Amino acid sequence: MVAKRIIPCLDVKEGRTVKGVNFENLRDAGDIVELAARYSGEGADELVFLDITASHDRRRTMLEWVERVAGALRVPFTVGGGIGSEREVEALLRRGADKISINSAALDDPSLIDRLARGFGSQCVVVAIDARQEGGLWRVYRRGGRVATSRELFEWAAEAEARGAGEFLFTSMDHDGTRRGFALEPLARLGEQARVPVIASGGAGSLEDFLAVFTDGKADAALAAGIFHFGEISIPGVKRYLAGAGIPVRL
């Protein structure tokens, strides 16, 4: 059985790690390089770095920040934020990224997924989907959760996969930062629909939440930020708990 992955996330603003609730009320969570080195040493399976204001500010991900973080890592590294072209992906891969995460640019121009999959391989292309429940549907948002689209979670995921997405990073905006658990129902539905791995994001608050996201939520990986940044739960602690519950993890 394929091991489930535990992935800390660095939401980066102005060169610092930040964390909020429902994508708002951000507070400082520490130095990006120090946190990256800590998580790499603690046994994180991967690290995700999101330049969270790049799309809104209509600029590229800051390459200097990416290079500094990559230098502190011994695990696979995914970078997202403001990525909109093959040239930008090439620059990020040269600076140490292993995979890239696209969101707003893919919604603006879905053919970007096709081009990146052809140019770099689907394994390099993570499509991030930020969504919240509205009127019984999961509406997809862009620009760091600031702008609603006409897209619905499951139809957008189906199109993105058909175009070459190699992985999904699904964040429930309703659950983000609340520490009340992951959005298990849409995660399970997405996991059953998709033929590529699904990373669950938004809502981790307890060890039990991580167990639930792999059993009831059918996720392939669980991403968390604040609970790791502020020392409330450790990555080794999560992995020991999951292993004890029979979930395959890398110890």
Summarize pLDDT for 42-74 with one digit per residue, the tens: 999 999 998 866 554 554 557 888 999 999 999
Judge whether residue 21 has pLDDT over 90: no
For position 144, what pLDDT does the model report?
Answer: 77
What are the residues whose beta carbons fall under 8 Å from the beta carbon of 50, sequence distance 6 or more?
9, 10, 11, 12, 79, 80, 81, 101, 128
Give residue-wise pLDDT tens across range 198-247. 999 999 999 999 999 999 999 999 999 889 988 889 999 999 999 999 99
User: Among positive and negative, which fits the CA dihedral 91, 33, 126, 140?
Assistant: negative
**Any bridge partners for residue 205, and if so which?**
none
Q: In whole angstroms, what is the distance from residue 101 CA to residue 12 CA?
A: 14
Say whether 130 is catalytic. yes
For position 25, what pLDDT does the model report?
Answer: 47
> In 52-164, at which residue ranges do the beta strands (DSSP E only) sit?
77-80, 99-102, 125-134, 137-142, 147-152
Give residue-wise pLDDT tens across range 93-144. 999 999 999 999 999 999 999 999 999 999 999 999 999 999 889 999 998 7
Backbone phi, psi, residue 102, to 5°: -120, 145
For position 60, what pLDDT does the model report?
Answer: 56
For position 16, what pLDDT does the model report?
Answer: 73
Q: Give the residue carrying structure tokens 């590229």.
A: 60
CA–CA–CA angle 35, 74, 19 (5° rounding): 25
For position 50, what pLDDT does the model report?
Answer: 86
Say whether 11 is catalytic. yes
Residues found in the chain: 251
Q: What is the band of 77 on the pLDDT scale with cuts at 50, 70, 90?
A: very high
For position 26, what pLDDT does the model report?
Answer: 54
Q: In whole angstroms, what is the distance from residue 11 CA to residue 173 CA?
A: 14
> Is pTM, for the whole model, over 0.75?
yes
Judge whether residue 22 has pLDDT over 60: no
Q: Which of 45, 51, 130, 220 is catalytic?
A: 130
24: tokens are 């708002």
- The CATH number of 5-244, from 3.20.20.70, 3.40.920.10, 3.40.50.300, 1.10.287.40, is 3.20.20.70
216: tokens are 């009831």
